[in-house]
Amino acid sequence: MTTDPTPPLPPIPDPAPHRRRPRYAGRNPRRFEDKYKEHAAARHPGTVAKVLASGKTPAGMHRPIMVAEVLSVLSPGPGMTGVDCTLGYGGHARELLARVAPGGRLVALDADPLELPRTEARLRDAGFGPEALLARRTNFAALPAVLAGLEIPGVDFLLADLGVSSMQLDDPARGFTLKGDGPLDMRMNPDRGSSAQRWIEGVSPAALAVVLRDNADEPRADKLAPVLAGRSWAGTAAFAGAVRAALRGVGPVEVELTVRRVFQAVRIAVNDEFAVLDTLLRHLPGCLNPGGRAAFLTFHSGEDRRVKRAFESGLAVGAYAEISPEVIRPSPEERRDNPRSAPAKLRWARKS
């Protein structure tokens, strides 16, 4: 009697190819993504917490400055209508929206086509619907037209947090930062206007010297302008390197301050920031309801001088009933916890 042969065993599958664990790039990794894991906060929550605990701002995020002071000045309340002229990451807007509920509205402006949708989505997820948050992609020079389009004759409060946001500063692709090399762009709205590179290529040394002095109080404007103007640069690193090379013999701290001032001056020129600010200040009284309040956060002397002069002129002609008697600065605790707040100045005005 014969027996059935033992059935063959199933084939053993080939083992999955071994994949090596990605190696850490060292204490000083070269890639921006490796240096600043906060950009992927969902994957690195511990990193974000550690950065916040150290008193720094996580890359790609923005910590709102002088929130308590702004709320005290503007006094937002239920049912009010207000404007956040510079939505940014939405930190101030979130606090303002919470205080105008129920029944209130916040018109939020931002010219940045990359950051505005992200911030609007975060605020929608936080429960602020389209009846409360009215987001518009434009700079604040267009505020009268925006309010007219929304059939809002005037607002009860207005906040303008000027300058560039942390998200823009922390992204090398935008051209604002010295953290990593990137294209020399610096446009708040990358879809419009000329990049910083194109602007530098077309500017004369004499004109650039004026920009460096007017936009950043740069004491070495006449020395730097002939080196930088009318030339093509490979990117932000090359441009910053040219500034440093022109300052041989100057102390390293002052050199880096100069590089930052040059970047600031060019950024302001590329985005025509002073003209946009002057337009808002000129239209401001007509955008406020009687008794309406405005608060401006500035970050360098050129901005602050314009706000101060406009408020003083408005007070003199009766457009404002009251203005801040002196500039308000961040508390020592805030400057310690958020070093980026250090240069901030707050001024306010109340319409007659």
At 223, the amino acid letter reads K
User: Looking at the domain 177-273, which fold is it?
Assistant: DNA polymerase; domain 1 (1.10.150)
Phi, psi dihedral angles at 143 (to 5 degrees):
-55, -45
The string of pLDDT tens digits covering residues 137-182 is: 999 999 999 999 999 999 999 999 997 766 666 777 787 777 778 9
The string of pLDDT tens digits covering residues 212-240 is: 999 999 999 999 999 999 999 999 999 99
The C-alpha atoms of residue 35 and residue 59 are separated, in whole angstroms, by 10
CB of 325 closer than 8 Å to CB of 299: no
CB of 172 closer than 8 Å to CB of 32: yes
The string of pLDDT tens digits covering residues 173-203 is: 787 777 778 999 999 888 888 999 999 999 9
- Model confidence band, residue 18 (pLDDT cutoffs 50, 70, 90): low
Q: What is the CATH number of domain 67-166+278-351?
A: 3.40.50.150
β-strand 105-109 against 345-351: which pairing, if any?
Answer: unpaired
- Model confidence band, residue 43 (pLDDT cutoffs 50, 70, 90): low
Per-domain residue ranges for the chain?
67-166+278-351, 177-273
Confirm whether 67-166+278-351 and 177-273 share one CATH topology. Answer: no
pTM metric for this prediction? 0.79
Provide CB contacts within 8 A for 124, sequence distance 6+: 133
The C-alpha atoms of residue 164 and residue 342 are separated, in whole angstroms, by 15
